[in-house]
Amino acid sequence: MIEIVDLHKSFGDYTVLKGINLSVPAGNTCVILGGSGSGKTVLMKHMIGLLKPDQGQVIIDGEDVVPMGPEDLERMRHKFGMVFQAAALFDSMDVYDNVAFPLREHRGISEEEIQKLVRSKLDLMGLPRASERKFPADLSGGMRKRVGLARAIVMNPKIVLYDEPTTGLDPITTDYVDEMILAAQKELGITSVVISHDIASAFNIADQIAFLSKGVILEQGSPEQVRASKHPAVEIFMQTWFGKND
């Protein structure tokens, strides 16, 4: 579903990505793990065509995004849903209208059809009918995340990108977020790419992990393969979690 080939990106004299190669099969969850400043967000922006690389290919569902013009990029982006770090809900809209927003913007369908789609995704995220008319300010952090994911999947995308979905959440809410990511993958067959520095969450949800540091993927493979890495930088990062939980 996603194939990154020899991707390079610099901003002036600052090199952010240094020859990234990454393959994400359809229906898998790939966690791009790494610390702040490692290049995770820049890599994600290339996947959806928000940035153009200096060199390399970004192949989404068989199509290279890099040479696409505005019309093709718009068409390609409809294959994606996006879950932002702080949910990025519209404060002036209630839960129902937040989730309905992409449908009203991009699909010429009736309100009856919109209601059916919105409620099916709210149900999948475990959000009760009583939440539909609540505003973001009335929701807990975990509920805002659920609404954000419901909005991301309401158009039935092939791929969902998650930007640090568990940042700032307590352990119980983090588990709920992990569960909803897995539910979306299982029920809808979605391919997921999660950028994160949360090792515990990564090992809960990932089919594969790519460990990114200073613009280079130092290790990639199953969670077990990454945990067993002998690369010094990966070992130190893993030790921050596993060292205190063994």
Per-domain boundaries in the chain: 2-79+160-242, 94-156
Provide the 10 A C-beta neighbour count for residue 205: 25
| pTM confidence score | 0.85
- 8-state DSSP, 87: -
The pLDDT, as a whole number, for residue 196 is: 86
Side chain identity at residue 107, one-letter code: R
CATH topology of domain 2-79+160-242: Rossmann fold (3.40.50)
Residue with tokens 């009736």: 110
The pLDDT, as a whole number, for residue 85 is: 76
Tokens of 235: 């070992």
The pLDDT, as a whole number, for residue 88 is: 85
| Mean pLDDT per 10-residue interval, the chain, length 246 residues | 95 93 93 85 92 95 93 91 83 94 87 92 87 91 86 91 81 83 85 88 91 91 89 83 54
The answer to whether 48 touches 2, Cβ cutoff 8 Å, is no
The answer to whether 41 touches 195, Cβ cutoff 8 Å, is yes
The pLDDT, as a whole number, for residue 79 is: 92
What is the DSSP pairing of strand 29-33 with strand 55-60? unpaired
